[in-house]
Structure 1
Amino acid sequence: MILLQLLLSLSLLSRSLAAVLPRHSQRILKPSADDLAKIFTFSNDFPLPNGGNLQVHDPNIIEEKDTLYLFKGGIHIPYWKASSISGPWTKVGTVLSKASVINKKNNNRPWAPTVTKYKGRFYCFYAISQSGSQDSAIGYASTSDLEKEWMDHGALVNTGSGERSQIAPYKNTNAIDPAFQVDQKSGQPYLIYGSYWDDIYSLPLEVDKDGKLSVKNANKPDATHLSYAPGNWRPQEGAYMSYHEPYYYLWFSQGICCQMVNNGFPLKGEEYRIRVGRSKSITGPFVDKSGKKLLEGHGETVYGSNNGNVYAPGGVGVLPGNGKRGDILYHHFFNGSIGFKDSDTQLGWHYLEYKDGWPVIK
């Protein structure tokens, strides 16, 4: 049944596939039945995800007063709320009331938001960019209440063009996929970001008396290179940093995530998968189980394509335990029985446990 569903879905999608091949990887256009084994993983090496009952891409979830709020990329950054991660989800509204104040293309459709509560205020970090472009920016909005109006504060980081875009590390990075974490000892907040180019970095932030954020020492930031995939196309992005004492965990997506309809499917193993490294320091170095550094292209694969109907999981985040339950890993994924358009990705989630200090999906 799964095989028939995949064939039907691929047959319908192939009508709109454009004959455009990316330079970094072979793609299979208009897959035939004989191509399925080259693309999909039918093993059960990983468990099926729990359903979140919501179509999302790059989800981000925060808990406030026993209510979960889920944010995703899209026009003005839509978001929902629910009492359970399984839903049902009720739409709250959008973070922005109009296009971002950042003057770059696609500013009405921010990507990959991350929302956090810091010093009593909520901050939504978002990215403005276009596929394959380094002309990007990370901006942020803030509010005192998740169900009240947000204020858009504009860009924190520019790459490709804009203020400070020609200084290190910005000139070598791509300002998308923001994440946020605070040093548990010093209280220093950090912005984590990056995609392809030089992959993933962190930047120390500072906040003024009015709650406005900026990069610390903005003209010469104390940036830290956290993860890097050597090679021609360096496919790491979507970083998220969680903390489970005594370790910081740097999660990221590695591989090809999107535009399967337009560009075709990557060979099996080159699609998105969720990887992680850990460190007792928020600035690393982050390593895998064998002690090899993420900066040298290593990392533990925690979740990947499986069972035929889970394809290219990524856009990862961790919802911290609340005393009633443990940590939850969540992500988006393609379900082959639904489709492979970017708008088809679904919310999936798993309980986490830690074995010898390493996160494992239950």
Structure 2
Amino acid sequence: MKRLRLAALLAAAALAVLPGTARADVTYPDPVPITGQQIIHDPTVIHLKSGGYVAYSTGGIIGARLSKDRVQWDDAGNAFATHPSWWYEYNSTGDPWAPDISYRDGRYWLYYAVSSWGTNHSAIGVATSPTGLPGTWTDHGKVFTSERTDTWNAIDPAVTRADGKLWMAFGSYWTGIRMVELDPRTGKAVEGATVHHLATRPDAPYAVEGPYVVKHGRHYYLFASYDACCAGVNSTYKIRVGRSTSVTGPYVDSTGTPMLEGGGDLLLAGHGRFVGTGGESVFRDGGQDWLAYHYYDADDNGTPKLGLNRLSWHKNGWPGVR
């Protein structure tokens, strides 16, 4: 009887740590050690064609960090020297949020949002650069907007390519995560584009935001941040993921629960000093996928800092962090 009970306990423990199952692993890896300027919020990271890395983030006029080795990070000022004038339509200080960097057609593309806390009077803009470095960006204005009469919020952009088309996931609260098609020539939303619905929560305030879509194998994976951001050590941010064979969904978790019904496998949650893990993006480096995110350091008065972990892909097709 004891042997049978022990076997049952071991089987339950194995299920608890198997990636892509209904029960998430209750232990999470710490971010890999980094040095230098670690303070960051909503990071987007890319390995530059010229060598080295750049990370852009919320704060300043899109704050910039540079690294030669992905370990030592140095403050590099801001993406822009001055605020584009149209930003002031959305908040009195012209603050941009949650950038997303990508490379295509010989240029770097930087998407970002401008809004005010607690409103969906918001806009997503885009800039381009030949090098991806701070101080080299040319702004091209609005990509997509939302107003108080809309049921979505045009912030937290993330661009991906699928089936020869360009797509942008976005959204925060206001019924969650959406997606529109972009014109690859201009980088802006296709005129009259359908606003697809990818993920939400069952109840108001629909606390899901910060999407990022990655293609792996035959599936598209939607990563998103759930619960409360921006409250220091009281933040409850966590990263969940679902997948679909179509970039526009429907996305489901490993139990088959749609992300439009609150589903999503728990990928990374706060643990120890690393509180409120979220604001995530994914970048590829040397054939390896990396998860970039911020956490609030409980050992440093809740200061937001850069977290990096490798993404692993398991035989069952679901991602894990290590």
TM-score, with normalisation over the residues of structure 1?
0.76
- Find the residue that maps to 1:327 and give its secondary structure: strand
Q: Does structure 1 residue 361 correspond to structure 2 residue 317?
A: no
User: Relative to total residues, which structure has the larger strand share, 1 or 2?
Assistant: 2
Q: Superposition pairs for residues 91-130 of structure 1, below 5 Å?
A: 91-102=75-86, 103-106=89-92, 108-130=94-116
> Equivalents in 2 of 1:276, 1:301: separation in Å?
7
Contact conserved, 2:269 with 2:277, CA < 8 A, in 1?
Answer: yes
Residue 197 of structure 1 deviates from its aligned partner by: 0.5
Q: Superposition pairs for residues 154-169 of structure 1, below 5 Å?
A: 154-160=141-147
Q: Does structure 1 residue 224 correspond to structure 2 residue 201?
A: no
Residue 321 of structure 1 deviates from its aligned partner by: 4.0
1:106-153 per-residue CA deviation (whole Å, 9 max, x = no partner) reads: 453210000111211111111111211111111111112223621111
- Find the residue that maps to 2:277 and give its secondary structure: strand
Contact conserved, 1:52 with 1:346, CA < 8 A, in 2?
Answer: no
1:314 to 275, 278, 281: 278
* Alpha-carbon spacing, 1:178–1:223, altered in 2? closer, same or farther (3 Å): same
Structure possessing the higher relative contact order (Cα contacts under 8 Å, 6 or more residues apart): 1
> Equivalents in 1 of 2:52, 2:218: separation in Å?
27
Q: Does structure 1 residue 79 correspond to structure 2 residue 99?
A: no
* Alpha-carbon spacing, 1:93–1:187, altered in 2? closer, same or farther (3 Å): farther
Structure 1 stretches of 4+ with a deviation exceeding 6 A read none
- How many residue pairs get aligned? The number is 291
Q: Superposition pairs for residues 32-43 of structure 1, below 5 Å?
A: none
Residue 350 of structure 1 deviates from its aligned partner by: 1.3
- Find the residue that maps to 2:298 and give its secondary structure: coil
One-letter amino acid of the counterpart of residue 275, structure 2: Y
Q: Superposition pairs for residues 200-215 of structure 1, below 5 Å?
A: 200-208=177-185, 212-215=186-189
Q: Does structure 1 residue 350 correspond to structure 2 residue 315?
A: no
> Equivalents in 2 of 1:293, 1:121: separation in Å?
36
One-letter amino acid of the counterpart of residue 153, structure 2: N
1:3-35 per-residue CA deviation (whole Å, 9 max, x = no partner) reads: xxxxxxxxxxxxxxxxxxxxxxxxxxxxxxxxx
Q: Superposition pairs for residues 137-216 of structure 1, below 5 Å?
A: 137-147=123-133, 149-160=136-147, 171-183=150-162, 186-208=163-185, 212-216=186-190
Residue 104 of structure 1 deviates from its aligned partner by: 2.0
> Equivalents in 1 of 2:113, 2:213: separation in Å?
17
Q: Does structure 1 residue 51 correspond to structure 2 residue 33?
A: yes
Instruction: Give the percent of matched residue pairs that are identical in Structure 1 and Structure 2.
Output: 30
1:151-208 per-residue CA deviation (whole Å, 9 max, x = no partner) reads: 11111112226xxxx5xxxx1111110100000xx32001110000121011000033
Unaligned stretches of 5+ residues in structure 1: 1-42
One-letter amino acid of the counterpart of residue 143, structure 1: S
> Equivalents in 2 of 1:247, 1:320: separation in Å?
17
> Equivalents in 1 of 2:26, 2:211: separation in Å?
26
